[in-house]
Structures are given as structure tokens and as C-alpha cells.
Amino acid sequence: MLAPPLAGWSRLTLAAALLSAAGCRVAQPTTTSAATTEATTAAAAAVAPAAAAVAPAATPAPTDVPAPAAAAKPAGPTVAEAAEAQWYLRDPQQDNVPGTGTTRTYAELLKGRTPSPVVVAVIDSGIDTAHVDLKPILWRNAREIPGNGIDDDQNGYVDDVHGWNFIGGKDGRNVGVETLEITRVVAKYGPRFAGKTRAQVPVAQRATYDMYLKAKKSYDAKRKELTEQLAQADQARTQISGLTGALKEKLGIEKLDTATLRKLSTTLPNPDLQGALASFYQGMRQMGVGDTDALLAELDNEVKDQREQLTYSLDTKFNPRATIVGDNPDDVNQRNYGNNDVTGPDALHGTHVAGIIAAVRDNNLGVQGIAASPVRVMSVRAVPNGDERDKDVANAIRYAVDNGAQIINMSFGKEFSPQRPAVEAAYKYAESKGVLLVHAAGNENHNLDLVSNFPASLYMNGSVPTTLLTVGASGPKDDENLPANFSNYSKKQVDVFAPGVGIYSTLPGNKYGNESGTSMASPVTAGIAAVLKSYFPSLTATDLKRIIRQSAQVHHTQVLVPGGDGKKADFSTLSATGGVVDLYEAVRLASQTAGAPKP
């Protein structure tokens, strides 16, 4: 599974920026110290004089981030309230924002036109099927009678009403946390190869031996990385808690919200503090939190997640699948396993992805998906908190194809693929059936011409899948930060970029929030493909790929290369097209290809 890029790093930076700006340089200790407490107090004292002038008489509801819904309206903000947050729906020409032009497209090009049904499969962690903005757009297997315990349509999957779960058991239990693929490789081949030189390994096993050595190196590096990140997340939480607590005490308020921070960032006499608070404010906006209490809750979740990853994802003896799913994970020909729970224990990622694609547009509630009804979303659960298995990915693709999906979104990835041929065969199966595959490029800020990310953008023989789009993530401004600093890129293996920073969408429990990643850029692109297929049903998967590529808006902005340590390059060199997806131009091009949409 793709790790969210805005994890501990950005939040740690926010805390460090504030403390540093107050004249207290922040090291990165692994434990709380008296110096840290002193630093937060000093920072609060530095802010306090000007802060008193802007402190609210009472604690208002946050205005910079859509406020939580009232009890009578449990689903959250109205469309009007969320419109600003959904920057990715704006138009690059009319709004001067490198969005998709979705709002303009519906108003100018598709108004009064009749869309056709389209099914988009979301292979992910699961989807909250009860979400008010998603429930109406879920795919419904009309051939299946819910809850009767019978495989009515005889497709091999019992009661698959909204999709299928390939990481669940017959008894209804689910795999939530899993190991990384590198952990599984080390666990499987360590007993055979540990301590041996290549010369000591039989020739027939040397390719596997090489894979083991590469995995072991990554495994050791990942353990070190996660240990450091956990310490930093702990430290960030402590710093922010101390600082914001001191600020609230000085201001005499119970909540420090984004509105107050924005005022502070423009009124303080110290320009360094202004900049630090502005960064803090923008960071909170990007994460979709309205006050520092919510920010601390997010950090608590992150610390928990980091500790969970360190505990389980690298444990070579941890194997929940054995007792839950009960299949043979090495048998890629085994198809009929799992259960029909398409939500699972943690549906945040998949729920967010689904909302980007097709959240209800006309209910004056929450967010607007890119694609409008009658586009439907099929949930295929195959991605745990950890690395997905090749077998499950291959079966998920085949299930989606066999049950009518015309587009498949895949917001996941990993650096090893022991059963790559099985996934490649599934790709070719989708290709043969005319199904478009849309895949996230990954969040490691790597050049994919040099580093692998699986499922791969190329077949093992070097050829390009004809119905696959690989998508990098872009930001909300056409400046040096246009490519997201976490996004993978490649002139050969990334087709396009799409909005993937601060993407506001659905969350479990009728909630909404921001997430960032190529995991968000991929469904933006899948949503565009769904609109094209819905209004121009004669378009094939290869047509969709061609139109999305050709209509992408090329940028020649000098940008910071992700992971390039300050190196700059022309944005157009970071992908095959050099562009950001544009629904408005895609619809115009589709009209030339397939004729005007039917009235």
C-alpha cells in the first residue's frame, strides 16, 4: 500500500519551524527534554504580545477549514462550503489553477447531455458503503440476492453485492495489518540464503538469491527509517502540544483555530515568526484540520500507525493471512476465496479514493466527485495496511473485469513483486477485454526509469500495456512546486500528472477531509476517464488513454525535481506527456473523436 506522503515529516517540520522562528533551534532528539519545554514557552512568549490584539473574544467555529456538521446534518459541509477545498475541480484557464476544469466542463460542454452507465472498480482497502455521499453511487450486482448465502449469479463469489474482499475469511474476519513484501521475502528465503555467498548458491537459484539480498537490504533500511520516523513523530507531537498549549494559555482561549493562526501570521512584528505561523496555518489547511486539538489527534493517530508498522510490517513471524483467509498465498491460480465485506476494518484510503471519482454531485452536500451518475463504483478489497499480495491484485483485476468494470483504479504499489507474472497476466486479461487500468506512480520521489514500482508500468519484455495509465501527483500552483515533492516521475513510465496535493474527499463515518498522494492523483484521472466513457460510450480503453494523454495541459515551468535536493527541471520532462490532466480539453478532444455527446 502507498504510504501517505504527508506523514510525520511535514508535521515535524511545522513544529520545528515555529520553535526555530522563536529563536530556539530544534534538534531532533528521540525523547522529550527540558530544553523542549523551555523552547515552547519561549515561542509562546514571543507570539503573545501581538497575539493579544487578535485574540477572539470567544471561540468561533473554524472558518478556514469546513466545520464539522451539526447534529441535524451529519454528513458534513455543503457543496458550497467545500467548493474552495476542492481546488482540483477548478479550471486552469478560467481560475488560473492547475486543476481539471471539471466544474467548467459540466457547465459549458455537458449541460443538458445524457450520460451512460459506467462501472469503475476501486481496488483498495475498502469503501464505507454507508457513506451518504457514496451509497447512491455504489455498484450493485443485480444478479445477486443480498444475504441469502447463495452464489446466485454463479460467479464463484457468494453475496458479492457491491464487490468482493480478497483479504477476508469465510467466517467474516478480515486482514487489517499485513507485513511488507520485503518482510515476506526475507522470511521465506532467509533460512535458505542467509550467510551464503553467491558462489555457494546453485546457479538455478541465483536470481532468487539476488532478490533476497536486495530485499534484505531494503528491510534493514526500512527498519531504521521507521524507527527514526516514530521518534520524530513522537517529538513532533510533544513540540506542537507544548507550543499550542502555551499559546492558548497566553491568549486565554480553549481552542487555537486556523482563523486565529492566519491573523497571527499577518500581524506579528517578527517576520520569521510570521513565516513560521503561516507555514503552520497552511499545513493545517492542507491536512483538513480546523484547530490544533484536531491536529494533535491526527498526530496521535500517526504515532499509533508508525508504531503499528514497526511492530507488524517488519515482523518476519507475523502472518495473519494464514488463520484468517486460509488460502495458499503462493498458489496464484486459486481464485475463490475471501468474503463479501467490501468495507473492512480500515476503509479510509478507499473511501477517499471513491469520493474523488464519483461522490454524488447533485445532493448539495459534502463533496462533488469528478464523474456524475450513472457512474458506479465497485469495491474490490485487496489492499491491507501493509503491502498487497500479487495474487490478490491479480484476482482483484480479474474479478473487476469479469463483473463489468470498464475502468479500474489502483492506488497502491510496492518495490518488490515476487509473483509479477500473475499480475502481468491479469493486466493482459484486462487489456484483452478493453478495460482501462489507472495506477498511482508512487510516493517515494523516485525516477521510475531507475527504480522499480509495482505493479510495473512496463511488461517484463519492455513493451507498454496499451490500456494502462500511470499517474504522478501535482499541486495547486503552477510554480516550482507544481510536481508534488513526494511524487515518483519518469519520462518513459509516467503518462501524466494529476492533482494529488490537499485533495478534499469523503472519509468513513460520513466525514470529509484532505489527503495527499499519487493515490489521489490516480482516481482524479480515473474519474476523468469515467466522464469520457459515460458521455462518449463508443470510446475504447485505448481511446480513453490516448485522449487523456493528448489533452493533458503541458507545462514548461521550471520546477523542483521530486527528491532532487533543490535540482530544477522543466516540468514537461517529468512524464511522457509533460502535462496535467484536463477534463475540459479531454471532452473537447473526445467530441472530435466520437462526435458530440447525445442530448
- The set of catalytic residues is 124, 349, 519
The residue assigned the cell 499550542 is 244
Contacts of 79 (CB under 8 A, 6+ apart): 364, 365, 366, 367, 368
C-alpha 457/C-alpha 544 separation (Å) is: 17
The residue assigned the cell 477531509 is 513
Contacts of 466 (CB under 8 A, 6+ apart): 431, 541, 542, 545
CB 399 within 8 A of CB 165: no
C-alpha 238/C-alpha 156 separation (Å) is: 51
Alpha carbon distances (Å) from 457 to 211, 422, 435, 438, 514: 20, 15, 16, 10, 27
Polymer length in residues for the chain: 599
Q: Is the dihedral of CA 245, 247, 252, 256 positive or negative?
A: negative
Contacts of 9 (CB under 8 A, 6+ apart): 229, 232
| 338 Rama class: left (phi>0) / alpha (psi -120 to 50) / beta | left
Alpha carbon distances (Å) from 234 to 227, 228, 238, 428, 544: 11, 10, 6, 45, 45
Count of CB atoms within 10 A of residue 415's CB?
19
| 163 Rama class: left (phi>0) / alpha (psi -120 to 50) / beta | left
Count of CB atoms within 10 A of residue 228's CB?
14
CB 587 within 8 A of CB 596: no
* Grid cell locating 448: 521510475
The residue assigned the cell 503499528 is 308
C-alpha 357/C-alpha 123 separation (Å) is: 13
C-alpha 565/C-alpha 573 separation (Å) is: 17
Q: Strand, coil or helix: what is 25?
A: coil
Buried b (16+ CB within 10 A) or exposed e, 171-195: eebbbbbbbbbbbbbbbbbeeebee
CB 483 within 8 A of CB 457: no
CB-hemisphere CA count at 13 Å for 480? 7
